[in-house]
A = this chain, B = another copy of it.
Amino acid sequence: MAKDFYTREENYSKWYNDIVLKADLAESSAVRGCMVIKPYGYAIWEKMQSALDKMFKDTGHSNAYFPIFIPKSFLNKEADHVEGFAKECAVVTHYRLKKDPSGKGIVVDDTACLEEELVVRPTSETIIWDTYRKWIQSYRDLPILVNQWANVVRWEMRTRLFLRTAEFLWQEGHTAHATKEEAVEETIKMLDVYTEFAEKHMAIPVIKGLKSENERFAGALETYCIEALMQDGKALQAGTSHFLGQNFAKAFDVKYSSKEGKIEYVWATSWGVSTRLVGALIMAHSDDNGLVLPPKLAPIQVVIVPIYKSRQEFEQVCEKAREIKKGLEDRNICVKLDDRDTHKPGWKFNEYEFKGVPVRIAIGMRDLKNKTVEIARRDTLEKTTFQEADIVNKIEHLLEAIQDNLYQKALSFRENNTTKADTWEDFKDILDNQGGFIYAHWDGTVETEQKIKEETKATIRCIPSDNKKEKGECIYSGKPSDQRVIFARAY
């Protein structure tokens, strides 16, 4: 199985696509730009959802659900917002089909035309702030800490499975606060939640920072983000948290009376991550043998493959396998015992290797005799023989070691692919020959950033949160700069 697909070096983009398709994660659908997320890929998303949802609830948030449709006029209420989203909206204009009068097929019923067109939500700030107006009168109604798990649609012209699709799944948090300070604090708190999720669950190190004006969310005063580095040296924005100021409160007239009895506009944040994270996960860890999953997000954490010749051997080996499975499941480890007799062990080994199952246990008659099991770890492809005694503890520790190793590996990769550039020539050279994150001085203007983007396709990924001030000259304009920012080509 591992032989008929591209390696990273041959063609990174095809390698990615092969993994998505051949590991049964997702595929294109009959609808342009929309994907089908297959059960194995969806199971990864469910693991992500479950971990994130717990983190949101632990930080005081509740889930709710708002309509998928947004009246066209709502989008237009916040000037930057409409500018950012109008060009990629799916628009519902009618609410009925009818038989084609000519006899064949069905057509849109022209008599069922909506008075006002509805947009399929590209994001929900507008419909949510129209709702919050009814929920908020006094400071006692604040804060509102709400999250929504939903599908959204942005009519992208060039799509790639998970990374950029017309429809995608995501969560969007939308909070309302009495003060600016509280809203900023929330924005940063959720950025920290995303950071923890990326590093602890996805095993992907990220850089936290602030977006430049150019890359800011349409309607935000500040956009914070986490940026990850993929194995081809391109950056991927893995989550954003926006400080929206009072923009949406003003657009939708959401005011509250303060403790002091003053009428004030409400302060807002929004923050989201999407199924794009599945794409990031694939590109951060996988190798030329297929998918590699960190144990915390693997739908199957351990697979057990019985090795046998006769029916009798099969029964004996499976008995031991079930015993080990039970022990692992009691520790909440997801185990699959593949006892199908339609496939040979070697075929199964390839299958689970390609699908990125972190730990494979093989048990044969010799193992029964020796009280051992054969262990293969997916991250290093190492095989070892474990004594069966205390096997559950050993596997539990192994899963932790794999999770940690994947993180360390990704971290080393990032460190080895982060450079400083001090001249324009160096900058272009690094971009073309090495990629990765480039720390470089920038004069702080939108114009310069745009020119750099036009000439090199690199953008400012972020101004890191813990950035050191340092005097220098803009890599492009030569104008004075007081800090380096991170440039990269990005997904």
**When A37-B65, A64-B36, A67-B167 are in contact, do A96 and B89 touch as well, CB less than 8 Å?**
yes
Interface size class of A (residues with CB under 8 A): 35 or more
Is residue A62 contacting chain B, with contact meaning CB distance below 8 A? Answer: yes
Number of copies: 2
Is residue A169 contacting chain B, with contact meaning CB distance below 8 A? Answer: yes
Question: Residues of A with Cβ closer than 8 Å to B?
Answer: 27, 29-31, 34-39, 42-43, 45-46, 62-76, 82, 86-99, 105-106, 108, 117-120, 127, 130-131, 134, 140, 146, 150-151, 153, 155, 167, 169, 342
**When A69-B167, A71-B30 are in contact, do A91 and B98 touch as well, CB less than 8 Å?**
no
Contact indicator A29/B67 (Cβ below 8 Å): yes
User: How near does chain B come to A274, taking the closest CB pair, in angstroms?
Assistant: 12
Q: How many Å lie between the Cα of A134 and that of B36 in the bound state?
A: 12
Q: How many Å lie between the Cα of A88 and that of B98 in the bound state?
A: 10
User: How near does chain B come to A486, taking the closest CB pair, in angstroms?
Assistant: 33
* Of the residues B36, B108, B117, B155, contact of A131 by C-beta under 8 Å: B36
Q: How many Å lie between the Cα of A46 and that of B43 in the bound state?
A: 18
**When A37-B65, A64-B39 are in contact, do A89 and B95 touch as well, CB less than 8 Å?**
yes
Contact indicator B68/A151 (Cβ below 8 Å): yes
Q: How many Å lie between the Cα of A82 and that of B29 in the bound state?
A: 21
**Closest CB pairs A-B (n = 9):** A34-B67, A39-B62, A86-B97, A37-B65, A95-B155, A91-B94, A93-B93, A31-B67, A31-B69
Q: How many Å lie between the Cα of A131 and that of B37 in the bound state?
A: 11
Q: Which residue of B lies closest to A100 (CB)?
A: B76
Contact indicator A70/B342 (Cβ below 8 Å): no
> Of A95, A120, A134, which is in contact with the most chain B CB atoms at under 10 Å from its CB?
A95
Known: A90-B95, A91-B92. 13 other contacts (CB 8 A): A31-B69, A31-B71, A36-B65, A36-B67, A39-B62, A39-B146, A42-B63, A68-B151, A76-B106, A90-B92, A90-B118, A92-B120, A93-B108
